[in-house]
C-alpha cells in the first residue's frame, strides 16, 4: 500500500489542471512547485553532504538569467573590444542553456568554496550569491540591470501547426510537475547510488571518510553540480513563467525560503523538501489572507521559523517516520562508509 | 588656457581627489572595523552565524533617535545608553534563543537567527514606520577643512570613538581575566570547560559584548546617515565580508579587514565604477580564498 | 518606549478602517486594486501613496460612492520588488477580480506588471512612475497621470539660462527612474549648450556617497543634477556639504519632499532646487486649489506626516481618476473602464487630468500632461521659482 502512495499522489497532482479553474490557486501552486524543485536540489547539499550553502539562490538566478537571455538574444562586451552577439534561440534550447550555465557555475564555485568548511563556507556561499546579484545589477548592457529583463517568451514546443504553448497556467503547471518528478527521480537515484553513500559518509564523519580513501572534494563538487543544474532548471521555469527577471531574484530571502523548506520538511530525506515546500509555499498566502499589515505578516513568518526549529529540529518527515516507523530506511553511517570505500577500490 | 596649465590643473585635481578618497576610507574603515569586531567575536567563540548583528546595529540607531529627538536626552548620554541597551538586547537574544541550542548544529542556530532577524527588522518598521528619521548632532555644521580636503566633525568624532572602542575591546580580550576565558574557549571549548571556565557565561558575555559594539556602531552612524528599518542589511553584509577577510575570531584581523574593505570600496568606486562599490568586499573575499583560504589573520586552520 | 507604542497604536488605527470596510458591505462595493511598495526600500513613499488613496476612498464613499455603490480599495504590498509586484497583480486580478488597478510606484515595478495587464486585459492607472518606456512600449492598458522625465526636463528648460548653468554633473540611482531621468536631462541640457561632466550612479539602497561626490568635485561642474528619492537625497546633501562640494544641486523626479529635506538635512538643504508636481506650501498656484486644500486638510487631520504630502496626492488623484472612469462607463468592467478612461476629465491636484495618446499606433497608452513646479529652499523655507 505505502509503495503505491507516492504514485497515487503524483497522479492526483497531475489531475489538478483538469478540475481546478481558479487561476490564482494555480498560480500559487506553480510558484510553490518551482520553489520545491529548488528546495529539493538544495537538500542534496544541505541534507546529504551536510554543507550549508546559503548561496543557492545564485544558481536559481543564473538559470533564470541565462535562459531568459538566450531566448531574448543579447549583445554584450564580454571583455573590452570583444563583443558577443547572440540571436534569440528557441525557448527549450534556452532552458537547457540555463541549466548548463548553472551547472558550470556550480562546478567552478564547488572547486573554490570547498576549500573551507563550517561558518566560513556559509559566508563564502552568501558572498557568491551577492557578487552574482551585483553583477546582474550593474552589468546593464547584458542584464538591463534593475530595469529587469521584460517580455521573456513563454515555452513553445513542437512544429508549426502542432504547437504546444506553455503560456496558460494549466500547461505551465503540468510542465512544473513534470520537471519536479524528474528531479525527484534523479536525486533519488543519486543518493541511493555509491556516490550518494559516499556523500552521506562524509556528512557523518568527514575525517573518517577521508581516511578510508573517499575523495571528499570530488563528491562535494559532484553534488554541487547536480544541485545547481536542478536549481538552474527551476530558475529557467520561473523566468519563462513570470516572464520578468530582475536582480532581486538573487535576494537572500529566497535562499532562506529554500532552507526553511528543507529544514522544516526534514533534511536528508527525499520527501522532506516537498512537505516543507508545500507548507512554506502556502504560508505567505495564508498570512496575506488574514489581512494583517505587511510588517506583521513578516514578523509572523520570522517567529514561525524560530518555533519550527525549536519544536521540530529534525523536520516533519523524520518525526513522522519515528512515530510510525515507516518510510525511508536510512542505512547506518558505518554501512555507508564501507560501501563507499568499496566503490573506491 | 595653455595645454601645460590644463595638465597641471588636472594633476592637482586628481591628487586632491586621491587624498580625499584616502581620508574618506580611513574614516569609513574605523566604523567598518567596529562592526566587524563584534561579529568576529561571536563567530569565533560561539560558532554562530549571527544574522541579528545588522538589526542590533539598527536598534542602536533607533534608540539614539528615540532618546535624542523626541525625549531630548543629551547626545553623549544617549550614546552610552544606546550601547548599554545593545548589550542588554544581546544578552537577551543569547539567553532566550541561543542558550537552549548549545549543542545544536550550525544550521539550526543559523535558522533561528534568520527568523529573529526577519522579525526584528519588521518590528522596527512597525514601530517607527518606513520613513527615514534623522538625528541632530551637537557638532559644528561646517566641516573641518584642510587645503582641498574636508571632513565633517561628526565623522571625526565617530572615528575617534570607534578607535577607542576597538582599543578597549583589544585590551579586554588580550589582557583581562575575562579575555583569557574567552581565548581559552576559542582554542578548545571542552578543555576550557574542564579547567573551570563557565562556557555558558562566556557565551552570553560574548554575545552581549558583540551586540554592544554593533549597537554602538549604529548609535554613532545614525546621526551621520539617516535611520531606516533596512539599514541593518547593508551593515551586516559588510560585517560578514570583514570577518572573512580578517579571519575568524581575530580582533586584529577584523580591524585590518575593516580598513582594507573601506579602501577597496573608496578607491574602487572612485576609479573603477561606482556601481560596483558594494561588490568590492565580496570580490576581495573571492580573491582571498584563491590566494590564502585561511584569511589574513586566521588563528586556527579553517580547513577541517 | 512610549513612542514605540504610540506608533503601534497609530499603525493599528491606519489599518482598522481597512479591516472594517472589508467586513461591511463587501458584497456590493466596487473593488479597486492597488499595488504599492509598503515594505522594503520604497516603503515610505509607497505608504504615503496608499494613505492618499484611502483619503480619496473615504471622501468618495462619504459622498455616496459611485453608481450607487461604495468603492473598496484592495491594497497589496509589492515589497519594492518587481517579481512580487507581478504576484500582487495575479492576486488582485485573479482572486479579487478587480476590474481596474492603480500602481505600482517605481518605474521598474510598473514595467514589471505591464505584461500581466495585457494578459488579463485589466487597465491600470500609473500614479508615480516617470520612465518614458512605460507609455511608449505599446501597452494599451496603461494610463499614466504622472509626468514623464521628458516632460519634466522640458519644463525645466527656461531655467537653464536663468540660473546660468554652464557645466552639469549627474548622480542618479541605477534603475529605470534614475537612468531615464538622467538621459532626458542630459539631452535637454546639451541642446541648450550646457557641458555635461561625469554621470555617477548609485544603488537605490546605498547610504555612503563619499566616493561619487569626490569624483564629482574633481569634475568641476557648477551644477549637480540628482535623481533619487528623498532618503538618499538627504544623505547626498549632507555628505556634499561635508566634502565642500559647492555646486548648485537640482533634484528631479518629484519624490524629493523638500519638507523632509529641511527637517533632516538642515542647513545642507539651503540653496538647493527641486522639481515637484504638487507644491503644498502654496496650493493656490495649482490649477485646482480647492481640491488641493481639501486633500491637505484631511491629510493633516489624520495626522499623517506633512513631508508625505508631495507623495500622497498621487494616490488621491489616481483613485479619483479611476472613479471618474467608473462613472463614465456606467459599470465596473475592465474593457468598459479602459474605453472610458480616454474620455475622463478630472479636476485633480496634478492639474486637469485627461489622457492623450502615446506610443505605437493602434496600441497607444494614455498619458496625462500634469503641471511641474520648481521650488528652492532658502533659510529653511520653501519658495517658488518662476518658470
Mean pLDDT calculated for residue range C23-32: 68
In angstroms, the CA C110 to CA C77 distance is 13
Answer yes or no: do C113 and C45 share one domain. yes
Domain count, chain A: 1
Question: Whole-angstrom Cα distance, residue B113 to residue B90?
Answer: 12
In a domain, A303, yes or no: no
Let me know if residue C384 belongs to a domain: no
The C-alpha angle A35, A41, A47, rounded to 5 degrees, equals 115
Please tell me the distance from the alpha carbon of residue C158 to that of residue C387, in angstroms, as a whole number: 6
Q: Please report which confidence band the pLDDT of residue B2 belongs to, taking 50, 70 and 90 as the band edges.
A: very low
CA distance C194 to C199: 14
The count of structural domains within chain C is 2
Cβ C87–A291 below 8 Å, yes or no? no
User: A99: part of which helix (H) or strand (E)?
Assistant: helix A91-113
| Percentage of chain C modeled with pLDDT above 90 | 65
- What contacts B287, CB < 8 A, 6 or more positions away? none
Exposure letters C152-178 (e unless 16+ CB within 10 A, then b): bbebbeebbeebebeebbbbbbbbbbb
Q: What is the number of H-type helices and E-type strands within chain C?
A: 14, 16
Cα torsion C182, C185, C191, C192: sign = negative
- The conformational region for residue A218 under phi > 0 = left, psi -120 to 50 = alpha, else beta, is alpha
Quote the pLDDT of residue A123.
Answer: 75
* Binding-face residues of B in 258-297 toward C, CB within 8 A: 265-266, 268-270, 274-275, 277-278
Which residues constitute the domain of residue C67?
A: 2-147+288-367
Give the tens place of pLDDT for each residue, C39-76: 877 888 999 999 999 999 999 999 999 999 999 999 99
**Distances from the Cα of B287 to the Cαs of A103, A113, A294, B293, B295, in angstroms?**
22, 12, 40, 9, 10
Interface of B with C in 160-199 (CB under 8 A): none
Whether residues C256 and C339 fall in one domain: no
> Does A178 fall in a domain?
yes
pLDDT surpassing 60 at residue B48: yes
Give the span between the Cα atoms of B85 and A136, in whole angstroms. Answer: 39
Listed as own residue / partner, the contacts of A323-326 with beta carbons closer than 8 Å and 24 or more positions apart are A326/A2
Burial class from Cβ neighbours inside 10 Å (0-12, 13-18, 19+) for residue B190 reads exposed
Tell me the per-residue pLDDT of C66-109, one tens digit each, with 9 for 90 and over. 999 999 999 999 988 887 898 899 999 999 999 999 999 988 89
CA distance A292 to C125: 25
Q: Do B302 and A309 touch (CB under 8 A)?
A: no
Q: Are residues C6 and C143 in the same domain?
A: yes
Cβ-nearest to B17 among C38, C214, C268: C214
Which among C241, A219, C38, C10 has a CA at the least distance from the CA of B145? Answer: C241
State whether C296 and C350 are in the same domain: yes
Residue C377 inside a domain? The answer is no
Q: Does C231 touch chain B (CB under 8 A)?
A: yes
C18-34: b (≥16 Cβ within 10 Å) or e: beebeeeeeeebbbbbb
Dump pLDDT digits (tens) for C204-258: 878 888 888 988 988 889 999 999 988 899 999 999 988 888 899 999 988 888 9
Q: Is C18 inside any structural domain?
A: yes
Phi-psi region of B225 (alpha: psi -120 to 50; beta: other; left: phi over 0): beta
Residues C6 and C141 in one domain: yes
Give the tens place of pLDDT for each residue, C310-344. Answer: 999 999 999 999 999 999 999 999 999 999 999 99
Contact C264 B134 (CB under 8 A): yes
Q: What is the dihedral of CA A290, A296, A300, A305, to 10 degrees?
A: 130
Position A339 scores a pLDDT of 53
What pLDDT does B15 receive? 82
Give the model confidence (pLDDT) of B245-293 as tens digits: 887 788 898 999 999 999 998 888 878 777 677 777 777 877 776 676 6
Domain that holds residue A170: 22-251
Mean pLDDT value across chain A: 85
CB contact under 8 A, B302 and A120: yes
Determine the Cα–Cα distance for residues A8 and A2; give it in Å rounded to an integer: 10
User: In this predicted structure, what is the pLDDT of residue A273?
Assistant: 93
Residue A52 near residue A275 (C-beta atoms within 8 A): no
Give me Rg for the CA atoms of chain B. 20
Q: Do B278 and C201 touch (CB under 8 A)?
A: no
Task: Please report whether residue C359 resides in a domain.
Answer: yes
pLDDT band with cut points at 50, 70 and 90 for residue B304: very low
Contact (CB, 8 A) for C142 and C122: no
Please tell me whether residues C201 and C229 are part of one structural domain: yes
Q: Is residue A257 part of a domain?
A: no
- Bridge partners (DSSP) listed for residue C103: C35, C126
**Is residue C374 one of the residues assigned to a domain?**
no
**CATH number for the domain that contains residue C164:** 3.40.50.2300
Same domain, C308 and C244: no
pLDDT of A332 higher than 80? no
Q: Which residue has the cell 505578516?
A: A297
Write out chain A residues lying below 8 Å of C39, CB-based: 294-295, 298
- The shortest CB-CB distance from A295 to any of C39, C82, C95 is to C39
Q: Do residues B219 and B35 lie in contact, with contact meaning Cβ atoms separated by under 8 Å?
A: no
The band of B295, judged by pLDDT with boundaries at 50, 70 and 90, is low
DSSP string, C82-145: HHHHHHHHHIIIIIS--S-EEE-SSHHHHHHHHHHHHHHT--EEE-S---THHHHS--TTEEE-
Residue A130's pLDDT is 83
Ranges of each domain in chain B: 25-140+149-232
- Indicate the SS3 state at residue C252: strand
Given this model, what pLDDT does residue C1 score?
35
- pLDDT tens per residue, range A37-71: 999 999 999 889 888 888 899 999 999 999 999 99
Amino acid at each position: 500500500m505505502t509503495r503505491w502512495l507516492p504514485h497515487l499522489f503524483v497522479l492526483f497532482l497531475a489531475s489538478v489542471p483538469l478540475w481546478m479553474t481558479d487561476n490564482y490557486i494555480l498560480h500559487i501552486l506553480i510558484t510553490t512547485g518551482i520553489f520545491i524543485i529548488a528546495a529539493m536540489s538544495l537538500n542534496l547539499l544541505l541534507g546529504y553532504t551536510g554543507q550549508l550553502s546559503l548561496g543557492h539562490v545564485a544558481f536559481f538566478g543564473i538559470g533564470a538569467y541565462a535562459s531568459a537571455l538566450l531566448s531574448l538574444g543579447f549583445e554584450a562586451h564580454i571583455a573590452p573590444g570583444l563583443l558577443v552577439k547572440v540571436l534569440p534561440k528557441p525557448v527549450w534550447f534556452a532552458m537547457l542553456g540555463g541549466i548548463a550555465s548553472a551547472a558550470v557555475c556550480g562546478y567552478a564555485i564547488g572547486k573554490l568554496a570547498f576549500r573551507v568548511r563550517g561558518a566560513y563556507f556559509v559566508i563564502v556561499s552568501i558572498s557568491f550569491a551577492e557578487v552574482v546579484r551585483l553583477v546582474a545589477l550593474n552589468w546593464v548592457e547584458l542584464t538591463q540591470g534593475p530595469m529587469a529583463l521584460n517580455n521573456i517568451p513563454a515555452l513553445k514546443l513542437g512544429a508549426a501547426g502542432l504547437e504546444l504553448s506553455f503560456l496558460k497556467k494549466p500547461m505551465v503547471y503540468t510542465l512544473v510537475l513534470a520537471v519536479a518528478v524528474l528531479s525527484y527521480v534523479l536525486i533519488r537515484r543519486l543518493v541511493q547510488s555509491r556516490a550518494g553513500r559516499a556523500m552521506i559518509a562524509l556528512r557523518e564523519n568527514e575525517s573518517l571518510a577521508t581516511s578510508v580513501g573517499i575523495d571528499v572534494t570530488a563528491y562535494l563538487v559532484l553534488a554541487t553540480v547536480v544541485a545547481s543544474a536542478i536549481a538552474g532548471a527551476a530558475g529557467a521555469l520561473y523566468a519563462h513563467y513570470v516572464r520578468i527577471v530582475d536582480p532581486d531574484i538573487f535576494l537572500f530571502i529566497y535562499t532562506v525560503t529554500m532552507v526553511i523548506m528543507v529544514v522544516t520538511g526534514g533534511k536528508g530525506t527525499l520527501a522532506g523538501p516537498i512537505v516543507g515546500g508545500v507548507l512554506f509555499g502556502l504560508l505567505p498566502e495564508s498570512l496575506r489572507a488574514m489581512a494583517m499589515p505587511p510588517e506583521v505578516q513578516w514578523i509572523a513568518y520570522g517567529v514561525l521559523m524560530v518555533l519550527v526549529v525549536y519544536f521540530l529540529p529534525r523536520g516533519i518527515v523524520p518525526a513522522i517516520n519515528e512515530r510510525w516507523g515507516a518510510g525511508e530506511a536510512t542505512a547506518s553511517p558505518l554501512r555507508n562508509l564501507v560501501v563507499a570505500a568499496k566503490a573506491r577500490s | 588656457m595653455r595645454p601645460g596649465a590644463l595638465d597641471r590643473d588636472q594633476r592637482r585635481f586628481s591628487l586632491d581627489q586621491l587624498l580625499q578618497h584616502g581620508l574618506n576610507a580611513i574614516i569609513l574603515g574605523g566604523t567598518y572595523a567596529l562592526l566587524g569586531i563584534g561579529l568576529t567575536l561571536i563567530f569565533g567563540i560561539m560558532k554562530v552565524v549571527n544574522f541579528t548583528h545588522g538589526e542590533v546595529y539598527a536598534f542602536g540607531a533607533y534608540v539614539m533617535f528615540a532618546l535624542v529627538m523626541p525625549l531630548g536626552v543629551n547626545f553623549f548620554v544617549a550614546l552610552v545608553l544606546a550601547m548599554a541597551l545593545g548589550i542588554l538586547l544581546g544578552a537577551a537574544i543569547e539567553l532566550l534563543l541561543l542558550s537552549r541550542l548549545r549543542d545544536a548544529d550550525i544550521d539550526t542556530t543559523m535558522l533561528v537567527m534568520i527568523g529573529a532577524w526577519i522579525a526584528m527588522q519588521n518590528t522596527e518598521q512597525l514601530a517607527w514606520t518606513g520613513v527615514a528619521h534623522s538625528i541632530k548632532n551637537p557638532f559644528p555644521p561646517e566641516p573641518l577643512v584642510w587645503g582641498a580636503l574636508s571632513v565633517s566633525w561628526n565623522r571625526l568624532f565617530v572615528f575617534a570613538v570607534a578607535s577607542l572602542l576597538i582599543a578597549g575591546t583589544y585590551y579586554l580580550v588580550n589582557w583581562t581575566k575575562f579575555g583569557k576565558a574567552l581565548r581559552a574557549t576559542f582554542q578548545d571549548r571542552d578543555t576550557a570547560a574542564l579547567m573551570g571556565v563557565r562556557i555558558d557565561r562566556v557565551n552570553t558575555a560574548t554575545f552581549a559584548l558583540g551586540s554592544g559594539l554593533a549597537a554602538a556602531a549604529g548609535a554613532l552612524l545614525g546621526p551621520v546617515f539617516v535611520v531606516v528599518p533596512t539599514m541593518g542589511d547593508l551593515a551586516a553584509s559588510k560585517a560578514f565580508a570583514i570577518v572573512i577577510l580578517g579571519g575568524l575570531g581575530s580582533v586584529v584581523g577584523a580591524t585590518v579587514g575593516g580598513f582594507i574593505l573601506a579602501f577597496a570600496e573608496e578607491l574602487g568606486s572612485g576609479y573603477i565604477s561606482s556601481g560596483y562599490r558594494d561588490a568590492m568586499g565580496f570580490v576581495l573575499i573571492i580573491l582571498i580564498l584563491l590566494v590564502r583560504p585561511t584569511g589574513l589573520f586566521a588563528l586556527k586552520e579553517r580547513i577541517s | 518606549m512610549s513612542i514605540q507604542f504610540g506608533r503601534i497604536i497609530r499603525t493599528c488605527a491606519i489599518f482598522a478602517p481597512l479591516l472594517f470596510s472589508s467586513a461591511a458591505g463587501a458584497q456590493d462595493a466596487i473593488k479597486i486594486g492597488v499595488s504599492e511598495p509598503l515594505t522594503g526600500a520604497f516603503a515610505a513613499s509607497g505608504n504615503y501613496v496608499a494613505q492618499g488613496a484611502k483619503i480619496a476612498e473615504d471622501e468618495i464613499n462619504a459622498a455616496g460612492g459611485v453608481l450607487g455603490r461604495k468603492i473598496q480599495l484592495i491594497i497589496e504590498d509589492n515589497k519594492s520588488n518587481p517579481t512580487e509586484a507581478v504576484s500582487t497583480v495575479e492576486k488582485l486580478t485573479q482572486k479579487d477580480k478587480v476590474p481596474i488597478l492603480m500602481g505600482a510606484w517605481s518605474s521598474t515595478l510598473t514595467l514589471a506588471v505591464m505584461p500581466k495587464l495585457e494578459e488579463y486585459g485589466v487597465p491600470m492607472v500609473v500614479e508615480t512612475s516617470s520612465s518614458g518606456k512605460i507609455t511608449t512600449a505599446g501597452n494599451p492598458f496603461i494610463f499614466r497621470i504622472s509626468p514623464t522625465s521628458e516632460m519634466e526636463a522640458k519644463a525645466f528648460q527656461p531655467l537653464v539660462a536663468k540660473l546660468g548653468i554652464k557645466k552639469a554633473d549627474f548622480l542618479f540611482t541605477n534603475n529605470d527612474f534614475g537612468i531615464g531621468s538622467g538621459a532626458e536631462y542630459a539631452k535637454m541640457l546639451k541642446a541648450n549648450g550646457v557641458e555635461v561632466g561625469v554621470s555617477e550612479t548609485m544603488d537605490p539602497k546605498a547610504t555612503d556617497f563619499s566616493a561619487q561626490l569626490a569624483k564629482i568635485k574633481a569634475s568641476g561642474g557648477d551644477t549637480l543634477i540628482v535623481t533619487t528619492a528623498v532618503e538618499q537625497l538627504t544623505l547626498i546633501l549632507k555628505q556634499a556639504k561635508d566634502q565642500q562640494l559647492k555646486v548648485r544641486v537640482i533634484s528631479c523626479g518629484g519624490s524629493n519632499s523638500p519638507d523632509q529635506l529641511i527637517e533632516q538635512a538642515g542647513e545642507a538643504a539651503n540653496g538647493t532646487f527641486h522639481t515637484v508636481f504638487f507644491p503644498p506650501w502654496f496650493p493656490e498656484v495649482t490649477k485646482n486649489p480647492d481640491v488641493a486644500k481639501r486633500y491637505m486638510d484631511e491629510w493633516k487631520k489624520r495626522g499623517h506626516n506633512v513631508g508625505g504630502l508631495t507623495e500622497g496626492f498621487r494616490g488621491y488623484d489616481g483613485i479619483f481618476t479611476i472613479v471618474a472612469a467608473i462613472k463614465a462607463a456606467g459599470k465596473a468592467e475592465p474593457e468598459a473602464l479602459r474605453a472610458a478612461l480616454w474620455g475622463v476629465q478630472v479636476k485633480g491636484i496634478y492639474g486637469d487630468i485627461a489622457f492623450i495618446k502615446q506610443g505605437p499606433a493602434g496600441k497607444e497608452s494614455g498619458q496625462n500632461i500634469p503641471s511641474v513646479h520648481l521650488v528652492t529652499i532658502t533659510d529653511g523655507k520653501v519658495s517658488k521659482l518662476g518658470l
